Amino acid sequence: MKRRSFFQILLGSSIASRFLPFSIVAAEPSVAQQGLSTPPPTGPFTLPPLPYASNALEPYIDAETMTLHHDKHHAAYVNNLNKAIAPYPDLQKKSLEELLGNLDAVPAEIRTTVRNNAGGHSNHSILWKTLSNPGRKPEGKLAKEIDNTFGSYEKWREEMTKCAMGIFGSGWAWFGRSKDGRLFIEPFPNQDSPLMTGRTPIYGIDVWEHAYYLKHQNRRADYVKSCVESVGSFS
Ligand code: MN
């Protein structure tokens, strides 16, 4: 009979996970740790600069959250995407829309990584452009379409809030346009993007905790209200 060490037995038992110090159990290296040991390639995708100062959305979104969100989280999506496609010259020539719009064309071994990180890069690139202080109501044709589709801009705000509050865990509430031209509001898990189904994202609310936890902690409703009523800006 094969002898098992005390630790093997302990680690295999359900009791172990409750009583052992966490450091004994081997953990996967975090993305940040992996990044430290191997510098990621610098392209083809690059982190777009924030189009305003990191404190521009105060008091709704604090400067520290903005800096971490852009400089660390968004940067990690860009770096991880570049790293994943580094061995694939054909993929490096594709746009985010092309990558996300046809994930079946991405080799299976990197498909999930591309889905998550191309999605994260695309979602955040749109996010920075659709925030301002004060926020701006859509005007013209889009305003009319919102009235026709949702009843009014107020109703649109209610729908966005309901969608963002209904997401369990990490994800986005996206407002966008379908291929047939119709407007939609829909929840997306993780970093999934409307681009994955050939639709056009217009404005999204990022409900990952990294987007609001420093300032709002568990009060997602306060953060969503800020997004919808104070800093959301698109046309
Ligand atoms: Mn985010």
Condensed to tens digits (0 to 9), the pLDDT of residues 226-235 reads: 999 999 999 8
CA angle 41, 45, 50 (to 5 degrees): 115
* Per-residue pLDDT band at 21 (split at 50, 70, 90): very low
Q: How far is the CA of 30 from the centre of ligand 1 (A)?
A: 17
pTM: 0.83
What value does the mean pLDDT of the chain take?
88
Q: How far is the CA of 209 from the centre of ligand 1 (A)?
A: 8
Q: May I ask the CATH class of domain 140-231?
A: alpha beta
Q: How far is the CA of 183 from the centre of ligand 1 (A)?
A: 23
Least confident of 15-19, 46-50, 194-198: 15-19
* Coil, strand or helix at 179: coil
Classify 60 in phi/psi space as left (phi over 0), alpha (psi -120 to 50) or beta. Answer: alpha
Structure tokens at 217: 């902690």
The reported pLDDT for the residue numbered 224 is 96
Residue pair 194/176 in contact (Cβ under 8 Å)? The answer is yes
**Boundaries of every domain in the chain:** 140-231
Q: How far is the CA of 74 from the centre of ligand 1 (A)?
A: 7
Q: How far is the CA of 69 from the centre of ligand 1 (A)?
A: 6
Higher-scoring residue by pLDDT: 95, 11: 95
The reported pLDDT for the residue numbered 37 is 60
- The C-alpha atoms of residue 111 and residue 179 are separated, in whole angstroms, by 24
pLDDT in tens, 27-58: 445 555 555 566 768 999 999 999 999 999 99
Residue 145 has pLDDT above 80, yes or no: yes
* Per-residue pLDDT band at 13 (split at 50, 70, 90): very low
